Amino acid sequence: ARDEELWRLACVKVWGHSIGTLDAQDAENSTVYYSWRDMFIRRERVNFSGCYISKTTYLRMGENSFQDQFYRPVQLVEYYRYIRFMPDGKVLMMTSADEPSQGVTKIRNVHNIRPDVLRGRYRLFGDTVTLVLQKSSQSRATTGHVRQRRGSVMPLDDDSNATQFLIELRIGHSPKRRCAQLVWSHYTLVQKRNKVDTSSEFDLTDAKYPSLWFSPVKSYHLDADAPLV
């Protein structure tokens, strides 16, 4: 289990062509890794054996009542955001009112994506993960074949009228698990209409875009939970 080639292959599985070398691997943080195992343990990455989940809750004021102008209902809005990463560079994101026990099942089957799920690719840059997503389409999901490259962030298709979501998240840690937190740092919506791009940036407040926390999902397991003893 300490064989360096095994750990090198594990690193390739996570970082792909961006793996670099052991000496001066992370130029941004001046980090040097002493072995491939050391890199796998200490370098920021995303977890594949589960889903990153956030919960957003806020109050929305309703319209005044016609019978009583002093009465104005207040609605409690609550929804979840799910992000799932896969070793081949794919990523899925979904916003839903479903509780996590039901929500994670909707992005379990990567070959049968629901229309409300955003699909795309991601790439790691130090402690930042960049996502390029767009809405799922039945025609692309069933008949389209896209040339894919590990870690690439190329557009999913060449549709002249398309909407893409460009997201940057910073990887953080929890006391019990490394790389268990994703903090929003940038979110841009790019709409393409008649070959003209229009971009809009989202205001990333903590109330509407709280951090996502990793939660293991048994049906997602693509690797072991712990090293062999």
| 91 shares its domain with 166 | yes
**Are 132 and 186 part of one and the same domain?**
yes
Residue-wise pLDDT tens digits, 175-191: 888 899 999 999 999 98
Whether the CB-CB separation of 222 and 229 falls below 8 Å is answered with: no
Is there a domain that residue 66 lies in?
Answer: no
Verify that 26 and 125 share a domain, yes or no. no
pTM of the predicted structure, to 2 decimals? 0.77
Is 60 exceeded by the pLDDT of residue 5? Answer: yes
Q: Chain-wide mean pLDDT for the chain?
A: 80
pLDDT tens-digit profile of 102-130? 999 989 887 777 888 999 999 988 899 99
User: Does residue 149 lie in a domain region?
Assistant: no
126 and 195 inside one domain? yes
- How much is the pLDDT for 65? 63
Does residue 5 sit in the same domain as residue 92?
no
- Whether 193 and 119 share a structural domain: yes
In a domain, 100, yes or no: yes
The rounded distance, in Å, linking the Cα atoms of 23 and 131 is 27
Cβ-in-10-Å burial (0-12, 13-18, 19+) of 172 comes to middle
Are residues 28 and 110 located together in one domain of the fold?
no
Strand, coil or helix: 136: coil
Q: How far apart are CA 42 and CA 1, in angstroms?
A: 17
Does residue 112 belong to any structural domain of this protein?
yes
pLDDT tens for each residue of 49-103? 899 999 998 877 777 666 666 666 777 888 999 999 988 889 999 999 999 989 9
Per-residue burial over 75-107, b if 16 or more Cβ lie within 10 Å, else e, is: eeeeebbbbbbeeebebbbbebeeeeeebbebb
Q: What is the pLDDT of residue 150?
A: 46
Same structural domain for residues 23 and 118?
no
Helix (H) or strand (E) holding 9: helix 4-15
Token pair in block for residue 83? 């992000």
Structural domain count of the chain: 2
d(C-alpha 153, C-alpha 19), whole Å: 16
The answer as to whether 142 is a domain residue is: no
Q: What pLDDT is attached to residue 33? A: 87
Structural domain containing residue 105: 45-52+81-137+160-225
Task: Confirm if 44 and 124 have CB atoms less than 8 A apart.
Answer: yes
| pLDDT at residue 221 is higher than 90 | no
Same domain, 18 and 121: no
**Do 106 and 216 belong to one domain?**
yes
119 and 214 together in one domain: yes
Q: What is the tens place of the pLDDT at every residue in 136-152?
A: 655 444 444 444 444 44
**35 and 90 fall within a common domain:** no
- The span from the CA of 37 to the CA of 6, in Å, is 9
Asked, for residue 121, whether it belongs to a domain, the answer is yes
Instruction: Report residue 187 CA to chain centroid gap.
Output: 12
Q: Is residue 214 part of a domain?
A: yes
Give start and end residues of each alpha helix (H) in 30-159. Answer: 36-42, 100-103, 138-142
Q: Give me the amino acid identity at 85.
A: F
Beta bridge partners of 82: 53, 94
215 phi, psi to nearest 5 deg: -130, 120
Whether residue 93 lies inside any domain: the answer is yes
